[in-house]
Structure 1
Amino acid sequence: MFAERTKQHGVLQSGAVPPLSVGRPTAGDGGALWRLAVDTGVLDVNSSYAYLLWVRDFAAASAVARAGGEVVGFVTGYARPDAPGTLFVWQVAVAERHRGRGVARAMLDDLVGRGTTFVETTVTATNEASIRLFTALARDHGVRHTCEPLFTEDLFPDSHEAEELHRLGPWPGSPRTRTPGET
């Protein structure tokens, strides 16, 4: 199944780069997630401890991409406690040498494939790559994509761009969109 997603979403396989696999993070991945977040130079980096907790407590709503056993990408997410069936995507990171190969998309497809009704994330208006990623995800899955202001600049105690809420869904086949009696 990943091989199909790999081909469909443009993850390139070549002799120079080991094949990619996508799955849930493990406790041993926390340090690699922190290093990738730092290496991006653009993410709001959490403490290394936060990433260790994340892979322990929210592995079911997160994904890692591996090449040759090395973590080369991650998506951290969580199920919103006050919105059942909603996956909130917190961070997306891909190692520089793997960017532009569909790795982020493959991880998001993996997460959506685990079952969700809606996907939410926040993105700054200047983060064109993330906007393209989530727009394409919604388009290719045939789901609605809305965007609205969530956190304005004045809400942040430090210098931070406004964050807009992107909401995708409902996902076909999700509990909310199944017909009665369908399994």
Structure 2
Amino acid sequence: MTAAQADLLIDRPSMADGSVLWRIAKDSEALDLNSSYSYLLWCRDFAATSAVAREENGEPVGFVTGYVRPERPSTLLVWQVAVDAAYRGRGLAAQLLDGLTTRLAAEHPITDVETTITPGNTASERLFTSFAARHGATVEREVLFDTGHFPDGPHDPEVLYRIGPLTRPSH
């Protein structure tokens, strides 16, 4: 953990954080931006399976959203990971992901993580392959949604990354 990270608190999001998470996602210019309403709902309904990094003043500067898959209760699906531009390049996304999975593993029998990544999103590919390595897990990849699945115009395929089983703690 760097000195810059030591000043940050990894916490559960609250509904009051929804608008800030929407702004961070919007400013990322890499994520599919959902409606602001969806971020508010996410912070209400999926706070237990999501995490935010907060400055000392409580303001979120990064987040990871996810949920436990109903059909596979040992699998955490990571929906989005984003870090405010001022905090990028410091390993905060990895810290958020490790913090969330450590917290969830203590509460649920989480053994696997899934996410989707569009081809060419090198930052996400590195984040999740390094996560797998830290946790002694393998990574399987397959196209989950090809371009034809998306009804709203051209969209790159979404490649499913299955990471597991998680065998080592994140620290």
Q: Does TM-score exceed 0.5, indicating one fold?
A: yes
Task: Give matches, 1:22-171, under 5 Å.
Answer: 22-68=10-56, 69-114=58-103, 115=105, 116-157=110-151, 158-171=153-166
Q: Distance in 2 between matches of 1:75 and 1:112?
A: 10
Give distance in 2, aligned partners of 1:117 and 1:55: 24
For the pair shown, which has the larger CA radius of gyration, 1 or 2?
Answer: 1
8 Å contact 2:132–2:166 — kept in the other structure? no
Deviation of the 1:170 alpha carbon: 1.2
Q: Distance in 2 between matches of 1:93 and 1:46?
A: 13
Q: How many residues align?
A: 162
The code of the aligned residue for 2:19 comes to G
Question: Per-residue displacement from partner, 1:127-177 (whole Å, max 9, x unpaired)?
Answer: 000000000000011111111111111111221100100011112389xxx
Structure 2 unaligned regions, length at least 5: none
- The unaligned stretches of length 5 or more in structure 1 are 1-6, 175-183
Counterparts in 2 of 1:131 and 1:173: CA distance versus 1, 3 Å: closer
Equivalent position SS for 1:145: strand
Taking structure 1 as the reference length, the TM-score comes to 0.84
TM-score for both structures, normalised by structure 2: 0.90
Pair 1:13–1:147, CA change in 2 (3 A) = same
Q: Which residue of 2 aligns with 1:3?
A: none
- Match for 1:165: what amino acid? L
CA RMSD for the aligned pairs?
A: 1.7
Structure 1 residue ranges, 4+ long, deviating more than 6 angstroms after superposition = none
